[in-house]
Amino acid sequence: MIEYNYTTNKTDVTYHFKNHLNSQPTFTVFSTNKDFVMVATSLDVLYVNIKKKHEVDIDNLYRIGEIRNIIYLNKKFYVFANK
C-alpha cells in the first residue's frame, strides 16, 4: 500500500502485504482514523492494522467466501459474505 502526495509528488510505502489476494481488490475500506483497513476480493479478505503492521487473513480464520460487501460503522468492520 502506498501513500501518494500529489502536491509534492512524494510517494511512501505505508504497508507491504504478507498475504496475497487471488486477484485485484474489489473492496478497500478504511477506519475513520485510517489506522485499520480491510482489503478484499470476492474470495479473500485481509484485515490490516497499519500502525502495528499486523495482518489477519479473515477468510481463512472464519472460513468465509463469496464476499459481497464490507462497511465500517461505529468503529467496527462488517463483512457481508454468501458463504
Cα-based distances in Å from 6 to 10, 11, 16, 51: 7, 9, 21, 22
Residue 69: what pLDDT?
A: 96
Three cell numbers written together for 25: 481488490
pLDDT tier at 14 (50, 70, 90 boundaries)?
confident
pLDDT value of position 83: 84
What distances in angstroms separate CA 36 from CA 16, 30, 32, 46, 52, one per listed residue?
Answer: 14, 6, 8, 11, 10
- The pLDDT score that the predictor gives to residue 20 is 87
**Displacement of CA 19 from its chain's centroid (Å):** 11
Summarize the confidence of residues 23-40 as an average pLDDT: 95
Q: First vs last Cα of the chain: how many Å apart?
A: 28
Q: What is the pTM of this model?
A: 0.86
Percentage of the residues of the chain whose pLDDT score is greater than 90: 86
